[in-house]
Structure 1
């Protein structure tokens, strides 16, 4: 765990940014580690898509799934999300491996649920456990989670909830859809009732992927490649000049902002990092929280490099 002075600096930084945070950093060569509440259960949000991708690529490498198999999708009926296929205007046909790339690079919810339907939640959770993720559990696909959130907030579907939040259903509906107390009561934002993980579990997962232990080596290599292509890069400021970042971000309802990944140092060092945050006020302070996530990771990596 972190030395007292590092832990205090991390806690102070998260508090000043307007959030609570957990962190774990692991040197992939030496095993040296630094953490802040690294075993505290947290909401994974889209970080869990690494687990979906891992199971898909593992099955493809084993030959039980054809990654080139084509799938027809209609934007009006797929799982909604802020990016990806649900925002297209016309039907599309994509291979499963292109759906996986959509899921990892732009966090496409529709692509994610197609892949979950192919590989199954039980298999995803079982592989997480074999990778050493003992506190991680994914309880539903995204459509079920988002629609359940909407119902808990007294809307019929997630699409209707989004319309309310955008002000399309009137001021009363908008106020109700954004009420902090009501949002905090939904199961998806409670790791005791919804999907959950920990910062330590996620660096354990990353260590397994980077060591080719999570699945056959070609599967792990492909996953590492697509993680390096993610568009959202909250941790980019923690990467030194000449370094690399392969990561997956996650966010949910203005409360949750997360990112996990592996930072490569120019001298060859590699560091698995996981940072999870929960904003004190929903839909507020995103820039400050993102900046603090990167600062905390940088501080953690510097600490393990000096260990």
Structure 2
């Protein structure tokens, strides 16, 4: 931990050790960054390690949409049509799973991209904004190591090519997984936990965009349907968790904000890799919530003198 009010070095080492042990027990390697959005106190465990971001990059995409709208360059209510068939990006949720043409507003596409990680909705926004605009926005916000190089349709096309004749069934073969470009942060969309918490802090402090656009952006980021990772560490009715998952073979990530009723706000980003190539690893999902809870409890103990039992 660093920042104002940093705890003793022994406490810092103890918390980091507990988190590392939790990752190991779950069969994953993991990196983490957590920061008190208002006080600036932080806890890191490999926070500057570059990772493939997978669907975590939808945070960057949607933040750019609302920032562009706040600048008057995009109209959030403009409707566009997503054709059916092979032109639609693959995926099992949202528009990506639908069979007929769909027309909706840009902000509703953003909602689906976050709420159910809809790849077709996200790629429609990538097409609307452009990779260069998203990357320039991240650079403006200080995310120096976060870069998008391709929309999701291209990432999945690359995975199909890398998987070869075995197709999707090959994605549990360690030899196939080892050659997936999508898992290589030097050949895929990428970022670091520290960059992602910097983005989330900017959003929650109205630095990414303010007024109704900041409110609208935070509303969208609070819509995620999945509660098996980050949110699992905070099972309380009065604690709000907003977040976005990212998932590829052996990779399970999440970045989000945890808000307590006493006003405490904490941005957290966790990236993990599992040794096991199985698609279903409940312990690997759950440890993201466990590690996040440890980190937030430590930050609250430093800044507020209590974790209030939570």
**Shorter-chain TM-score above 0.5:** yes
- Calculate the aligned-residue CA RMSD, in Å: 1.6
Shift of 1:10: 1.0
What is the match of residue 72 of structure 2? 63
Stretches of 4+ aligned residues off by more than 4 angstroms: none
Structural mapping, 1:72-91, within 5 Å: 72-76=81-85, 77-91=87-101
Q: Structure 2: which 5+ runs fail to align?
A: 2-10, 303-310
The aligned length equals 290
What is the match of residue 56 of structure 2? 47
Q: Structure 1: which 5+ runs fail to align?
A: 156-160, 166-173
What is the match of residue 308 of structure 2? none
What is the match of residue 219 of structure 2? 225
Say whether 1:299 aligns with 2:299.
Answer: no
Return closer, same or farther for 1:261/1:177 CA change in 2, 3 Å cut-off: closer
Please say if residues 133 and 205 of structure 1, whose CA atoms lie closer than 8 Å, have aligned partners that are also in contact: yes
Equivalent residue in structure 2 for 1:251, among 242, 247, 253:
247
Tell me the distance in 1 between the aligned counterparts of 2:143 and 2:18. Answer: 27
TM-score (norm: length of structure 2): 0.89
Return closer, same or farther for 1:96/1:285 CA change in 2, 3 Å cut-off: closer
Please say if residues 171 and 277 of structure 2, whose CA atoms lie closer than 8 Å, have aligned partners that are also in contact: no
Tell me the distance in 1 between the aligned counterparts of 2:280 and 2:120. Answer: 28
Please say if residues 172 and 279 of structure 2, whose CA atoms lie closer than 8 Å, have aligned partners that are also in contact: no
What is the match of residue 29 of structure 1? 38
The one-character-per-residue Cα deviations of 1:207-243 (angstroms, maximum 9, x if unpaired) are: 1111111134332221111111110122223224411
Shift of 1:130: 1.4
Structural mapping, 1:91-240, within 5 Å: 91-154=101-164, 164-165=167-168, 174=169, 176-233=170-227, 234-239=229-234, 240=236
